[in-house]
Amino acid sequence: MVMKQYEFFARSPTESSIDSKIRPFELNKEGKRGGEGYALVLRYAGCNLRCPLCYAWRYAWFPNREGYTYSLDHVLKALDNLYSLNVQRKINWVRIQGGEPCLSLDRTLLTLKACGKALQVIQEIGLNRYPSTRAVIQTNGIFFSTLNNNEKAISLIREELKKSLRDSGRGRIIFELSFKDPTGKREWDSSRILEKQLTGFKTLLKVVKPLWDENFNNVALYVVAGLGPSIDFHNVAVVPIDPYSLPKEYPLFHPRTWSNDFSSLYDMFINNVVPHFEAYRDFRNNPKTGNGRKVPLEEFEPNKFQKAWLSGYANKYQEYGLKVGVDIPSLSNVLRRLDPSLSDALRGLDKGYSQWNGLCEQSKKWRDLLDSIPLAHNSHELLELIKEMNEKFYPSHPDGHYPYL
């Protein structure tokens, strides 16, 4: 098979920084307290979806205009420059993201090659923060749905994955399938997205299961929900409500909003994949995951890239003539009276309000956005619904990426 000789990526080769020698890769300071370690990141340009909350929409949607081309040889050889860089911190993980890393067969194979070599180099140099470094491939799974009956392509991906796992030493390769909408009712330029994602997940299982049978337990697939409400209450006043459930105010990703496709996916992962394979031993032994009974929920947070998401909810609320607007200090006091045990958590709510204010004070546009965020009519009921979500999900905070691995 002859692979395409170049790909589109998000990072310019001329950017001046410590990691300019490893472009299109970059080293990001990441950790729970910031700067504890690096993530080695590769960002593709181009995607097959048009999610309204995408922070990377410029290069994800317009790769020819906003992306940069690199040859495949350059991408892999760039990792060799890690040997000569004076890297001051250990590398926590490798993250391959986009855009969409698995947009085509060629790109998927390159992604796997990059994972294998990155993990190998990190181990050889001694830059690994943990005994087993993870390479996380963030994908929407749409491409894999096109390979459902293509045994030749599935075999090619499996063999490349097997080689990368061998090259990685003690490293692990993780496919993270992200599901932004559990209802299947929003269309983002790819019809019946959830149905395709479910098919893509099944296809990836076809790729990986034979490797598990050969005791390659350093590869796994994970289902990730995002973006959902904070389920530990620190942003309860800005919980995104599923507009299709109105006038009943169910938070997005509440089980009662799930489509059949999302329910099938959740059940398949929790009941049929996690219990049966050694690759998920750490996941099953982690109390945070309910010992393998919950999936991670990438949390809603006050970032600019979510403005389209919020505006959609505000518009739906206005259609129903429901109350909009945020008075977080007042809500905080109400919640404390309802449940005094929430006092500590609500300090985070107050902090979240300050973050929103700081963001929105930058311009009238953002201030107007804050004023249009839906506020649930019944805060006590909202808390109960969020508690119900705790039975299905656990929070994956942005400052501590991938705690479920």
pLDDT above 70 covers what percent of the chain? 71
Please give the pLDDT value at position 232. 63
Q: What are phi and psi of 31, to 5 degrees?
A: 165, 170
pLDDT in tens, 45-69: 999 998 877 778 889 999 999 999 9
Please provide the average confidence, as pLDDT, over all residues in the chain: 81
Query: Across 50-59, 154-163, 354-363, which has the greatest mean pLDDT?
Result: 154-163
Please give the pLDDT value at position 326. 47
Amino acid in position 356: W
Query: Mean pLDDT across the stretch 290-318?
Result: 70
Q: Among 236, 242, 239, which residue's Cα sits nearest to residue 257?
A: 242
Burial class of residue 82 (count of CB atoms within 10 Å of its CB; 0-12, 13-18, 19+) = buried
Token couple for 198: 């479910």
Helix, strand, coil percent content, the chain, rounded in steps of 5: 45, 15, 35
Please give the pLDDT value at position 51. 81
Ranking 80-94, 241-255, 319-333 by mean pLDDT, the lowest is 319-333
Contact 150, 108 (CB under 8 A): no
Token couple for 3: 């692979």
* Helices 307-319 and 364-371, packing angle to 10 deg: 50
Please give the pLDDT value at position 30. 74
Q: What is the pTM of this model?
A: 0.86
pLDDT in tens, 269-302: 999 999 999 999 989 998 888 999 999 888 766 5
CA 104/CA 350 separation, integer angstroms? 45
Q: Among 44, 38, 136, 188, which residue's Cα sits nearest to residue 396?
A: 136
Please give the pLDDT value at position 228. 72
Query: Mean pLDDT across the stretch 162-176?
Result: 94
Ranking 106-115, 289-298, 360-369 by mean pLDDT, the lowest is 360-369
Please give the pLDDT value at position 36. 74
Give the N- to C-terminal CA distance of the chain in Å, as an integer: 33
Ranking 96-110, 186-200, 203-217 by mean pLDDT, the lowest is 186-200
Token couple for 160: 């490349």
The yes-or-no verdict on residue 191 having pLDDT over 80 is no
pLDDT band of residue 402 (cuts 50, 70, 90) is low
CA 175/CA 100 separation, integer angstroms? 12
Tell me the torsion sign for CA atoms 304, 393, 209, 166: positive
pLDDT in tens, 117-155: 999 999 999 999 888 899 999 999 999 999 988 999 999
pLDDT above 90 covers what percent of the chain? 47
Cβ neighbours of residue 150 closer than 8 Å, sequence gap 6 or more: none
Query: Mean pLDDT across the stretch 183-196?
Result: 82
DSSP 344-393: HHHHHHHHHHHHHHHHHTT-HHHHHHHHTSB--S-HHHHHHHHHHHTTTE
Q: Among 310, 399, 398, 397, which residue's Cα sits nearest to residue 360?
A: 310
The yes-or-no verdict on residue 263 having pLDDT over 80 is yes
Please give the pLDDT value at position 397. 63
Ranking 8-17, 238-247, 323-332 by mean pLDDT, the lowest is 323-332
Please give the pLDDT value at position 176. 93
Please give the pLDDT value at position 120. 96
